[in-house]
Amino acid sequence: MKSYDVAIIGSGPGGYVAAIRCAQLGMKTAIIEKYSTLGGTCLNVGCIPSKALLDSSHHYEDAVKHFEDHGIEIPGEIKVNLEKMIGRKQAVVDQTTGGIDFLMTKNKIDVYHGVGAFKDATHITISGDSTEEIEAKYSIIATGSKPTTLPFATVDKERIITSTEALKLKEIPKHLIIIGGGVIGLELGQVYKRLGSDVTVIEYMDRIIPTMDGGLSKELNKVFRKQKFNINVSHKVTSVQRSGDEITVTAENKKGELVEFKGDYCLVSVGRSPYTAGLNAESAGVKLTDRGQVEVNGHLQTSASNIYAIGDVVKGAMLAHKAEEEGVFVAESIAGQKPHIDYNLIPGVVYTWPEVASVGKTEEQLKELGVAYKSGQFPMRALGRSRASMDLDGFVKILADETTDEVLGVHMIGARCADLIAEAVVAMEFRASAEDISRMSHAHPTFAEAIKEAALAATENRALHV
């Protein structure tokens, strides 16, 4: 039987990053993945393929709607070749997952393909083409998550689908009904809207992207309505029925009335649930919470002291970069170091266009915490850069402590905000004040100037260009 310092179950961004860091720190490391490709949800059916389709559909929309404004004329009809678009997405995925194989080899990490199940706290059985057992001093559970389903909606993977199927459809839906106005619903909804589908979003809460700052929800809602999305908030879906190719979704509105929506596809995107099936966690003394997550303490240690858990399978935001941070954290903890993660500074991004990005506290959270704060906001449309590219929607909002001026939250919506948010993370990591940001030179013309202007607005209400 092979023996390891660390065995990692699951090869998503949590697992494979933990494996690399363990190997860097000199530990003999194994990683176990039940699928034939490494990379987990993120690389195979999550972050990477969804961004590939967002990019392709964005190009198409630009060609159809915006090239003309730029003086670019394309003779003849511009058409979508969906098969080719999905094929390009798959090529990007294959290249990216292949990159993880390379990294495992480079770092001398042993890769096992098969379902990993604990026999006890130091032994794992791997069931793949054959069954083998390994011994590990420490283990890291990084088994991720799977789409949450609704008891009354049978996902048939043909017309009633999850994000996994939405990334490989064979035709463009005529009318896509999306249950859940969260990140997946809006990103994939925008892909198909751009490609020509009618898109109806049904959201239970009173706003889309309900966990982000309210100002962002409002602005994104405005832009999506301009893009002719049919958005229905405060609607609780109660039934999903399929009859042939027709899907009927029934939802209860605020007044308690039942409203019917009819379409040819229905995407169920109501969140994701931790995945521990087949892990046999209890044999190792690993406890689960009543929400099905692996229970961990502040060191990400489970109820079995030599077993850790990270990523989507534990509490916290279900984000690839959060899983990665936790992977590094656990590897360094096992090596005897004292790492730290500031969960308040894990940014959240929605890759629609305009992009939406956030870090730190929202206005709603600050109010609930009773923190006295001031707010500075700057509209994207006031930037020269925005006018040059005709990306006028959105704003940057900076929330700073009323007394100390320390930045407490940054919320932005607009072109390239997914990348711009990194400046806010750096600033907050170094506990910058709004004035600190306002006194730093930002290249002109850039979208980043909106951050400086919002900081000026927060400091003394003295933005320069409004």
The helix, strand and coil proportions of the chain, stated in percent and rounded to the nearest 5, come to 35, 25, 40
CA 135, CA 138: separation in Å to the nearest integer? 9
Residue type, 362: T
> Looking at 7, 23, 27, 42, which residue binds ligand FAD (CB under 6 A)?
42
> With binding defined as CB under 6 A, does residue 33 bind ligand FAD?
yes
> With binding defined as CB under 6 A, does residue 204 bind ligand FAD?
no
> Looking at 14, 144, 182, 409, which residue binds ligand NAD (CB under 6 A)?
182
> Looking at 202, 267, 304, 330, which residue binds ligand NAD (CB under 6 A)?
202
- Of 116-124, 344-352, 367-375, 400-408: span binding ligand NAD (CB under 6 A): 344-352
Show which residues are catalytic.
444
> With binding defined as CB under 6 A, does residue 275 bind ligand NAD?
no
Residue number, 148 or 232, with CB nearest to ligand FAD: 148
Task: List the Cα angle 144/146/149 in 5-degree steps.
Answer: 150
> Looking at 111, 204, 214, 234, which residue binds ligand NAD (CB under 6 A)?
204
Among candidate residues 372, 316, 376, the one with its CA nearest the CA of residue 346: 316
Task: List the Cα angle 30/309/103 in 5-degree steps.
Answer: 35
> Looking at 20, 319, 456, 458, which residue binds ligand NAD (CB under 6 A)?
319
Which two three-digit tokens encode residue 79?
A: 């058409």
Binding mask of the shown chain, residues 276 to 305, with x at each position contacting ligand NAD by CB under 6 A: ------------------------------
Binding mask of the shown chain, residues 106 to 135, with x at each position contacting ligand NAD by CB under 6 A: ------------------------------
* DSSP characters over 324-369: HHHHHHHHHHHTT------GGG--EEE-SSSEEEEEE--HHHHHHH
Provide the 10 A C-beta neighbour count for residue 17: 27
CA 425, CA 234: separation in Å to the nearest integer? 32
- Of 120-128, 239-247, 313-321, 332-340: span binding ligand NAD (CB under 6 A): 313-321
Give which of ligand FAD, ligand NAD, none residue 142 binds (C-beta under 5 to 8 Å, depending on kind).
ligand FAD
| DSSP single-letter state for residue 92 | H
Between the alpha carbon of residue 59 and those of residues 101, 274, 317, 368, 422, the distances in Å are 31, 35, 30, 41, 25
Provide the 10 A C-beta neighbour count for residue 245: 11
| DSSP single-letter state for residue 63 | I
CA 37, CA 35: separation in Å to the nearest integer? 6
> Looking at 4, 7, 14, 308, which residue binds ligand FAD (CB under 6 A)?
14
Give which of ligand FAD, ligand NAD, none residue 339 binds (C-beta under 5 to 8 Å, depending on kind).
none
Residue number, 231 or 427, with CB nearest to ligand NAD: 231
Provide the 10 A C-beta neighbour count for residue 141: 32
> With binding defined as CB under 6 A, does residue 347 bind ligand FAD?
no
> Looking at 98, 128, 196, 210, which residue binds ligand NAD (CB under 6 A)?
210
> What minimum distance in Å lies between the beta carbon of 350 and ligand FAD?
8
Among candidate residues 419, 351, 320, the one with its CA nearest the CA of residue 42: 320
> What minimum distance in Å lies between the beta carbon of 211 and ligand NAD?
7
β-bridge mates for residue 411, sequence order:
358, 397
> Looking at 5, 25, 28, 35, which residue binds ligand FAD (CB under 6 A)?
35
Rule CB under 6 A: which residues touch ligand FAD? 9-15, 32-35, 40-42, 46-47, 50, 115-116, 142-145, 163, 184, 275, 278-279, 311-313, 318-321, 323, 351
Rule CB under 6 A: which residues touch ligand NAD? 150, 179-185, 187, 202-205, 210, 236-237, 269-272, 317-319, 349-351
